[in-house]
C-alpha cells in the first residue's frame, strides 16, 4: 500500500514540527479501522476491528482482506472486501461470524486511499458493531411472532370490535365457538351473534367498556352457533381505543358451557332426591323460606303438608325394596298433578313427602286441598304385582308472617304422625282453632251435596229498574239455599265452596233453567215487553260442552236469547278461556254483563277489549254517592266510559233517594237495590211480573229482607 506521509504542525515548540499520532488515534477510537493496499493486502487493523472478527490484529496484517472476511458470512463479507479493494465509496450492513463462531452484525463504510499523485493506493474501511441493535430488533420480531402464535393458537377467543360492535379481527378459536369461518365473522355485527335475551346486556357492557378506557368489563352471555344452538361464554371487554396502534375494544371470550352444565348438574344433585328426582329437604326449606318472605310482604298464608304413606314397611317386607322404590317414585308425579303452579312437592326422606302451598286463603282451604290429594293421588292402585292399594296420612301446619321454617316443618311432621296414630288415611291440621273451621267447611260441603240431592235451592229475583221513569225492565236471578235447619244461607257463604268442589255446575244449571222458565212465561204474557233476565255464571260453568248447555236450555225452553244476560265478575272475565266462551254465546244473541265492575283487574282501560254489553257498577262505589267525592268521581268515570263505548250501565246496591238522584244526574241508565225492593221469590203460580211490580208490598219482602242482597 502506497501512502504519503506529511508533517502536520500541531503547534510550534522547541523550533521543530512534531508528527500527528495517527496510530494512537486509530487505536483509541470506538470504531474498527481496516486498511488495505492496492493489492488488497491488509496493512492495518486496529484493536477494535480485530475484536470484531475475533482474530488478533498481528495475524490479520499481511493477509488478503477477502480471506480475512471469510470468517463471516461469505457473500456479504466478500462484497465488503471487494468494495475496499476497488476503492469504492459505500456503506452497508452485513451479518458476519467471528472466529469463535458467534454472530456479529457490522456497519461498514468504505473509501479509497490515494497517493500524492491522486492515484489509487488502497482502501479504508470504518466498521461499527451494531449487533446490539440487530439483536433487539430480532428479539422484538421474535416476540411478536411468539405472541402471534399464542393468540392464533389460544383456546380462548380474542376479537377486536369497533365501538358500535363491528368485528374487525377474530382469532381462529372463534371458528370452534361459532361453528363458522373467521372470514364470515370478520365484518359481522357482534350483537347478531349473541342470544336474543342477552343482546341488551351485551350492548350495555360494550358501551361501558368504551366509556372507561383501559378498564376490563366482565359479562356472562350466550352466543348462537350456525346450527341454532347456543353456548355459554365468559367474556371480558377492554377498551384500547386510546392506543393508536389498536383503536378497538378487545373482547376475550371463553366457552364455559361445560362448566355451566356441570355446575347445574351438581346443584341439581345437591338439591334433589336421587331416587325420585323431587326437591329434597334442602330445596324444600329454601322454597319455604322464600314463600314465607313473600307472605310477609303481601299477606296471606303458607301451608305445609307432610304426606306419609300408611304401613309402607309392609310393602318392602312383602314385595321387596325394589318394588317399594318403584312406588316411592310413582307417588311424586301423582302428588305433583294435584298441585297448583308455584306450589312445591318434595321428598323429605323415607316414605314422607312435603307439599308447600303458597297463598292459601285459609287453613280450611289447605285442609280441603289435602283431602283432594288423598282422594286423587291414592285412588288408583300402584303397579306392584298386579295392584297394591296404599293410603296416606297428611299433617298440615299453616304459617303466617313471623312463622319459621323449622317450626312449620316440625308441626306438620308431628301432625302427620298424629294422623297415622288415628288409623291413617286422614288429614289433620295443627292449629286447633282452624281445625274447627276446616271441620265446619267439610260439614258445609256435605250439607251442600245433600241440598242438591234434596232440591233445597230457590231462585230469588231482584228488579232492574229504569233510572229515568222507575219502570221495571228486567230482573237478576239470585240463588238462595233454603236450609231446613238454618234458614236462608247467603250465596256468599256457599258459592266459593261450590266453585271449588265443582258443585257449582248442578247449582248453576238449576238456576239458569228456572230463570229461563220465568223469562219464557214473561215473554208469553207480554210479548211486546222488553224484559231482560240476568243470571250469574261461574268460570267453572264455561268451557267445552258446558258452554253449549246454555244454548241448549234456551232452545229447549223457547226463550229469546237476546233477552238473556249472563253476569260474570270482572276478575273472572279476563281469563282467555272464559272470554272465548262468552264471545261464542254473544254470537248467538246472549248478552254479557261484567259484574262488580271496578273491583277486579281489567279497569277502565281494558273495558273496550272485553266481550261485554252491560257494566254493573259495584255497590261499594254506589254507597258513597252524594257523600263521597271519590266514589262520585269513579262512578262518573265508569258511566262516561261505558257511554262512549255504547254499553249499558246498571248501578247495584241503590238504597237511598240521594244515591238515585246522583245517578240520574250522572246519566246512569238502570239500577238495582233495596230502594225499589229486595230480591223476591214468586209464590207458586204467581207471575214474576206481578211479583216484581208489587215488590214493595209483597209478602215475600219480609221473608227476603234479611237475606243478602247478593
**DSSP-derived secondary structure letter, 526:** -
Mean pLDDT of 25-53: 83
Joined together, the cell numbers standing for residue 644 give 262512549
The third-level CATH classification (topology) of the domain covering 22-135 is: Beta-Lactamase (3.30.450)
Q: For residues 171 and 182, give the distance between their C-alpha atoms in angstroms, rounded to a whole number.
A: 7
The third-level CATH classification (topology) of the domain covering 143-261 is: Beta-Lactamase (3.30.450)
The third-level CATH classification (topology) of the domain covering 272-446 is: Alpha-Beta Plaits (3.30.70)
What is the structure's pLDDT at 544?
67
Q: For residues 410 and 413, give the distance between their C-alpha atoms in angstroms, rounded to a whole number.
A: 5
Question: How does pLDDT run across 110-162, given as a tens digit for each residue?
Answer: 888 887 787 878 888 888 888 877 776 666 655 565 556 556 656 688 888 89
**Per-residue buried b or exposed e for 565-597, using 16+ beta carbons within 10 Å of the residue's own CB:** bbbbbbebbeeeebbebbebbbeeebbbbbbbb
- Please name the residues in contact with 314: beta carbons below 8 A apart, sequence gap of 6 or more: none
Is the pLDDT at 374 greater than 80, yes or no? yes
pLDDT band at 708 (very low <50, low <70, confident <90, very high): very low
- For the chain, first and last CA: distance in Å? 135
Joined together, the cell numbers standing for residue 19 give 508528527
Question: How does pLDDT run across 586-609, given as a tens digit for each residue?
Answer: 999 999 998 877 665 445 556 777
Pairing of strands 591-597, 564-569: parallel
Question: How does pLDDT run across 406-438, given as a tens digit for each residue?
Answer: 888 988 888 888 888 788 889 998 866 544 544
Order of all β-strands in the sheet with 230-239: 167-170, 157-161, 249-255, 230-239, 216-224
Is the pLDDT at 55 greater than 90, yes or no? no
Pairing of strands 32-37, 42-45: antiparallel
**CATH number for the domain whose boundaries are 455-704:** 3.20.20.450
pLDDT band at 500 (very low <50, low <70, confident <90, very high): low
What is the structure's pLDDT at 418?
80
Is the pLDDT at 479 greater than 90, yes or no? yes
**For 477, how many CA atoms within 13 A lie in the half-sphere containing its CB?**
27
What is the structure's pLDDT at 252?
86
Could you state, in order of their start, the residue ranges of all structural domains in the chain?
22-135, 143-261, 272-446, 455-704
Mean pLDDT of 238-247: 82
The reply to whether domains 22-135 and 272-446 share a CATH topology is no
Answer whether 248's CB lies under 8 Å from 241's CB.
Answer: yes
The mean predicted confidence, pLDDT, of the chain is 81
Q: Please give the residue that has the higher pLDDT: either 322 or 570.
A: 322
pLDDT band at 569 (very low <50, low <70, confident <90, very high): confident
Answer whether 222's CB lies under 8 Å from 214's CB.
Answer: no
Amino acid at each position: 500500500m502506497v501512502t504519503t506521509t506529511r508533517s502536520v504542525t500541531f503547534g510550534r515548540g522547541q523550533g521543530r514540527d512534531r508528527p500527528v499520532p495517527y496510530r494512537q488515534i486509530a487505536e483509541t477510537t470506538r470504531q474498527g479501522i481496516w486498511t488495505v493496499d492496492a493489492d488488497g493486502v491488509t496493512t492495518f487493523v486496529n484493536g477494535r476491528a480485530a475484536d470484531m472478527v475475533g482474530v488478533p490484529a498481528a495475524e490479520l496484517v499481511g493477509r488478503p482482506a477477502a480471506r480475512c472476511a471469510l470468517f463471516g458470512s461469505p457473500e456479504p463479507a466478500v462484497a465488503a472486501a471487494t468494495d475496499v479493494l476497488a476503492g469504492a465509496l459505500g456503506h452497508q450492513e452485513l451479518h458476519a461470524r467471528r472466529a469463535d463462531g458467534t454472530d456479529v452484525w457490522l456497519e461498514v463504510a468504505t473509501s479509497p486511499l490515494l497517493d500524492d499523485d491522486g492515484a489509487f493506493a488502497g482502501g479504508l474501511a470504518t466498521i461499527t458493531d451494531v449487533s446490539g441493535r440487530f439483536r433487539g430488533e430480532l428479539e422484538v420480531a421474535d416476540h411478536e411472532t411468539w405472541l402471534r402464535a399464542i393468540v392464533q393458537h389460544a383456546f380462548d377467543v380474542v376479537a377486536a370490535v369497533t365501538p358500535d360492535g363491528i368485528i374487525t379481527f377474530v382469532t381462529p378459536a372463534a371458528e370452534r365457538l361459532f361453528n363458522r369461518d373467521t372470514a364470515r365473522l370478520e365484518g359481522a355485527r357482534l350483537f347478531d351473534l349473541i342470544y336474543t335475551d342477552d343482546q341488551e346486556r351485551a350492548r350495555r357492557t360494550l358501551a361501558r367498556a368504551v366509556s372507561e378506557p383501559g378498564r376490563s368489563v366482565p359479562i356472562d352471555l350466550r352466543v348462537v352457533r350456525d346450527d341454532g344452538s347456543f353456548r355459554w361464554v365468559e367474556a371480558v371487554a377492554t377498551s384500547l381505543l386510546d392506543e393508536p396502534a389498536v383503536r378497538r375494544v378487545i373482547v376475550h371470550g371463553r366457552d364455559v358451557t361445560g362448566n355451566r352444565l356441570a355446575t347445574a348438574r351438581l346443584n341439581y344433585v345437591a338439591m334433589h332426591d336421587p331416587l325420585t328426582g323431587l326437591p329434597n329437604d334442602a330445596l324444600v326449606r329454601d322454597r319455604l323460606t322464600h314463600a314465607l318472605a313473600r307472605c310477609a310482604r303481601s299477606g296471606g298464608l303458607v301451608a305445609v303438608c307432610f304426606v306419609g304413606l300408611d304401613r309402607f314397611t309392609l310393602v318392602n317386607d312383602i314385595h321387596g325394596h325394589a318394588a317399594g322404590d318403584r312406588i316411592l317414585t310413582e307417588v311424586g308425579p301423582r302428588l305433583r298433578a294435584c298441585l297448583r303452579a308455584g306450589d312445591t312437592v318434595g321428598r323429605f326422606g323415607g316414605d314422607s313427602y312435603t307439599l308447600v302451598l303458597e297463598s292459601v286463603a285459609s287453613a280450611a282451604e289447605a285442609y280441603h286441598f289435602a283431602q283432594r290429594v288423598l282422594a286423587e293421588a291414592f285412588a288408583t292402585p300402584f303397579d306392584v304385582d298386579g295392584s297394591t292399594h296404599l293410603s296416606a296420612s297428611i299433617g298440615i301446619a299453616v304459617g303466617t308472617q313471623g312463622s319459621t321454617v323449622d317450626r312449620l316443618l316440625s308441626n306438620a311432621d308431628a301432625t302427620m304422625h298424629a294422623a297415622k296414630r288415628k288409623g291413617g288415611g286422614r288429614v289433620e291440621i295443627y292449629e286447633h282453632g282452624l281445625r274447627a273451621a276446616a271441620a265446619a267447611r267439610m260439614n258445609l260441603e256435605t250439607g251442600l251435596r245433600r241440598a242438591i240431592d234434596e232440591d233445597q235451592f230457590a231462585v230469588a229475583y231482584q228488579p232492574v229498574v229504569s233510572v229515568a221513569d222507575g219502570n221495571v225492565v228486567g230482573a237478576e236471578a239470585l240463588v238462595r239455599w233454603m236450609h231446613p235447619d238454618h234458614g236462608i244461607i247467603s250465596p256468599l257463604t256457599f258459592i266459593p265452596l261450590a266453585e271449588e268442589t265443582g258443585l257449582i255446575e248442578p247449582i248453576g244449571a238449576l238456576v239458569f233453567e228456572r230463570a229461563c222458565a220465568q223469562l219464557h212465561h214473561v215473554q208469553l204474557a207480554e210479548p211486546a215487553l222488553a224484559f231482560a233476565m240476568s243470571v250469574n255464571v261461574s268460570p267453572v260453568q264455561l268451557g267445552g260442552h258446558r258452554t253449549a248447555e246454555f244454548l241448549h236450555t234456551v232452545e229447549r225452553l223457547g226463550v229469546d236469547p237476546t233477552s238473556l244476560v249472563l253476569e260474570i265478575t270482572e276478575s273472572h272475565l279476563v281469563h282467555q278461556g272464559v272470554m272465548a266462551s262468552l264471545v261464542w254465546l254473544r254470537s248467538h244473541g246472549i248478552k254479557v254483563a261484567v259484574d262488580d265492575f271496578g273491583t277486579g283487574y281489567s279497569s277502565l282501560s281494558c273495558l273496550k277489549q272485553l266481550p261485554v254489553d252491560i257494566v254493573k257498577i259495584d255497590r261499594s262505589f254506589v254507597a258513597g254517592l252524594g257523600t263521597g267525592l271519590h266514589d262520585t268521581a269513579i262512578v262518573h268515570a265508569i258511566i262516561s266510559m261505558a257511554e262512549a263505548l255504547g254499553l249499558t250501565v246498571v248501578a247495584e246496591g241503590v238504597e237511598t233517594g240521594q244515591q238515585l238522584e246522583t245517578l240520574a244526574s250522572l246519566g246512569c241508565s238502570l239500577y238495582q237495590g233495596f230502594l225499589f225492593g229486595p230480591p223476591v221469590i214468586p209464590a207458586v203460580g204467581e207471575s214474576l211480573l206481578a211479583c216484581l211490580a208489587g215488590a214493595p208490598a209483597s209478602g215475600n219482602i219480609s221473608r227476603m229482607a234479611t237475606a243478602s242482597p247478593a
